[in-house]
Amino acid sequence: MKIALLGYGTVGSGVYELIEKNNESIQENFSKNVRVERILVNSLNKYKTHKAFNIFTNSFEDLIKEEFDIAIETIGGIYPAYDYLEYFLKKGIPVITANKDLIAEKGAALLELAKLNNTILSFEASVGGGIPILKPLQECLAGNTIKNISAVINGTTNYILTKMFNDDISYETALELAQEMGFAESDPTSDVEGYDAMRKLVILSSIGYKKNIKWTDLPIEGISNILKADIDYAHSENYRMKLMAFSEDMGDGIYGTVRPVYVTSQSKYAKIDNEYNAVILEGDAVGELMFTGKGAGKFPTASAILGDLLDIIQNKKIQPSYHYQDSVHIHQYYPKKSKWVIRLTNGKLQELTMLLFECFSSNAIKLSKDANSDILYVELVAENEETLLQQLNQIAHKANCKYKHFLVFDK
């Protein structure tokens, strides 16, 4: 089987090396000779010493002069990746991609294109790297109605928050360390502002709930405004802080968000540290299932791509689908009764305390003042997020203070 490999960065090179390494066993077990026939790159100069330099090209027009059985895309970004995938799908050629940005943005259109041309679009590697999650969701759990999905699914932010907690350092210092270790890009915006995690959540949620959910419709909050005092509070209350991606089918619509939350020490997420990821799915029949592992990296991601490749070779791949005709109502606020931690700054302690007890039931409030600043932390239970924000806005207006609210996540 002749493969067109689009891109030869970290993931693309991992795919090539894994296919080369396992080619003999693939041929033995599946009676297929799988080989990378051509590799598309931006510039040929850096690959002149590569043992397979003769199969590299920097021209898509040159690449498609040949016939291929499967295309694997590891370029990233929306364009020109979309144009390349569109070309192969229109020709009825199966496509495998690890491109979460493309699937979150254009997944529904590409899946429809694959369906029209009786071929396959596979993207297991787009969500959890080496963690097998989409295949279980589509196949093993097909008899379930998925109730909710939660995930710590960005290794960069999890590494930063882990370092802040374990090493007693600031966000800025932890980010610099993550960049030095190769866990964060020189421009970390997509990771630290929650966009990467949201795109992954939308892919999971669209398949899980069978809805065409747009990532730009959901509220996103990253970790760039997390203070060392927020982590100190976590220590004092036996909490951990995580950037949580979670969604739930509320019956009358979908709630989904990416936001920093506190989790208790008993939480399943409390020990998911550094670059490790975890996903919990809850089905009506199976209950909760947890998937965990390294969510990114050269060979974990290449492993997921190879898994898709072998499924296609064996004609075992089930094509995911979104329900395009459904209009999805999105809840913008967390609609359930929950515990919250509120960080209050720039206010006078006595005035804030009085206003808090006026707005909230006294037996539901716990106050803690940060030892190293004038920050006041309030822990309380609210019926829903929208009502909570209305009350906090009143307090902020009257006391001329600022606030930030954190959900205490209960999984």
What residues are labeled active site? 200
Element (H, E) at 163: helix 155-167
Print burial letters for 46-81: b (CB count within 10 Å at least 16), e (below 16).
ebeebeeeebbbeeeeebbeeebebbbbbbbeeeeb
Instruction: Tell me how far CA of residue 160 lies from CA of 328, 336, 343, 380, in angstroms.
Output: 34, 29, 20, 27
Structure tokens at 79: 């364009």
CA-nearest of 175, 229, 212 to 329 is 212
Residue 189 β-bridge partners: none
Number of H helices, E strands in the chain: 14, 16
Task: Say if residues 90 and 117 touch (Cβ distance below 8 Å).
Answer: yes
CA-nearest of 70, 83, 8 to 43 is 8
How far apart are alpha carbons 191 and 214 in whole angstroms?
Answer: 18
Q: Angle at the Cα of 324 (from 319 to 327), degrees rounded to 5?
A: 145
State whether the Cα torsion 21-25-30-34 is positive or negative. positive
How far apart are alpha carbons 94 and 34 in whole angstroms?
Answer: 14
Task: Say if residues 182 and 153 touch (Cβ distance below 8 Å).
Answer: no
